[in-house]
Amino acid sequence: MKILFVAAFLSVIVYNLGAGLYYMLVDKGASKRTVNALTRRIGFSIALIALVVVGIATGVVQPHGVGI
């Protein structure tokens, strides 16, 4: 369930990144849709990082060393 939750967040982040690219190419700077899409992407990224930190702090997510 944790992996699906993180994957869903990542898919929303990638979608907003693609939407920002699309709006940048289509609108040619005429609207704020690009800025709004990229702002949402940053917000979702910060929320995902915060949730991972909270998950580690509460013991829901068990961190492990890479290559140890």
Q: What does the pLDDT look like over 22-39, one tens digit per residue?
A: 998 998 878 888 999 999
Question: In whole angstroms, what is the distance from residue 36 CA to residue 59 CA?
Answer: 34
Q: What tokens appear for 55 in the block?
A: 């998950």
Question: Which residue, 47, 44, 19, is CA-closest to 32?
Answer: 19
Q: Residue 2: what pLDDT?
A: 84
Say whether pLDDT at 17 is over 90: yes
Distance of alpha carbon 11 from alpha carbon 33, whole angstroms: 19
Cα dist. 54→15, 59, 63 in Å? 25, 8, 12
CA distance 59 to 68: 21
